[in-house]
Amino acid sequence: MTLGVAVEQLAREVETDHGVPVDVVAVGDCLLDGDLRAMLAAGREATVNSAKWSGAPVVSLFTEVERKRVSMFVRDRGSGFDPGAVSADRQGIATSIRGRMDRIGGKVTIRSTLGEGSEIELSVPRRNGRT
């Protein structure tokens, strides 16, 4: 399976489960490996969080496959949130997003402005031999 096919499947599942449209844009594609599956799982958590909590009418999911890295951006124009104010007992960001990305040597950047929306950026270096 390729990243592009997996992202489209993720979007359909979130739309079905949460009733919020997920717009997908993909630049480039490659075969899935263990690292990309972990990034995809972190991206799923971010997409579900946006669909459930942002109040946005649509969630955007953008992927880009470059020679040296693969990136995924989950964006919404919803309520936004303060990442520092998320309760310690809420493990979605800490475990399901940051934890997964840390284990594969990836990077997570969270940008959010109250009343304007959020963007979760995930990226992982491409390894030699990844097609």
Tell me what pLDDT residue 113 has: 93
130 inside domain: no
pTM listed for this prediction: 0.91
Six-digit token pair at 131? 């097609």
Number of domains in the chain: 1
- Is residue 106 a part of any domain in this protein? yes
CA gap 111, 55 in Å, rounded: 17
Do the domain assignments include residue 9? yes
The CA distance from 131 to 127, in Å, is 9
pLDDT tens track for 68-113: 999 999 999 999 988 777 766 666 677 789 889 999 999 999 999 9
**C-alpha of 117 from chain center:** 15
Domain membership of residue 73 (yes or no) is yes
Tell me the residue range of the domain where 8 lies: 3-125
Question: According to DSSP H, which parts of 31-83 are helical?
Answer: 34-53
pLDDT at 128: 62
76 located within any domain? yes
**Half-sphere exposure (Cβ direction) of 79: Cα atoms closer than 13 Å:** 10
CATH of the domain at 116: 3.30.565.10
